[in-house]
Amino acid sequence: MIDLGPMPAGCRMHVMDELEVRAPLRRIFALARDVTRWPEHLPHYRFVRFNSQEMDGGGVVEMSANRQFGLLDWPTWWRSDMQVIDSAPAVRFRHVAGITRGMDVEWSFEPTPAGTHVRVLHVWNGPGWPLVGEIAATTVIGPVFVHGIASRTLAGLARVAEAE
């Protein structure tokens, strides 16, 4: 079982996407944890596949999504350790390969009177590029690529959950 522990504190880049989803917590949580079905629901995802999968739904997962710029798509790719925490509930990722190696991600879910408040938090210190790594993370990679993909992912899964 993969145990990623708590989200790291003090990272230079923080990207938070959140949304009130008008669906029960268990429904949106089930969609978020079932990452191999994301491409069925989300046209910006090119593929999602497990390199190894744990009994609890976690494992090592490889993902690729497009970041749209008008009519152009910029393909991205990363590999993550993935942990599913049923008791929280939460889905955690730690990017272990790709340009965002070392990034931590947490999908968290909180019931509300209207449905579920979902937060997707990305934290990272940036790539290990001397002098420009932190600047690239906080000015381009985080706000342009990470937010661009995560906000569409969250909105797309919310649409599916609300339609069911």
List the CATH number of the domain containing 124: 3.30.530.20
The Cα-based distances of 108 to 32, 52, 128 in angstroms read 10, 23, 28
Does 103 score more than 90 pLDDT?
A: yes
pLDDT of residue 55: 83
| Domain membership flag for residue 151 | yes
Does 24 score more than 90 pLDDT?
A: yes
| Domain membership flag for residue 155 | yes
pLDDT digits (tens, 9 = 90+) for 131-150: 899 999 999 999 999 999 99
Does 106 score more than 90 pLDDT?
A: yes
| Domain membership flag for residue 2 | no
| Domain membership flag for residue 22 | yes
| Domain membership flag for residue 24 | yes
| Domain membership flag for residue 115 | yes
DSSP letter at 8 equals: P
| Domain membership flag for residue 3 | no
Q: 88: burial class by Cβ within 10 Å (0-12, 13-18, 19+)?
A: middle
Place of tokens 């340009």: 99
pLDDT digits (tens, 9 = 90+) for 40-91: 999 999 999 999 999 888 999 999 999 988 888 889 999 999 999 999 999 9
Q: What is the mean pLDDT of the chain?
A: 96
Q: Which domain holds residue 126?
A: 13-163
Tally of domains within the chain: 1
| Domain membership flag for residue 69 | yes
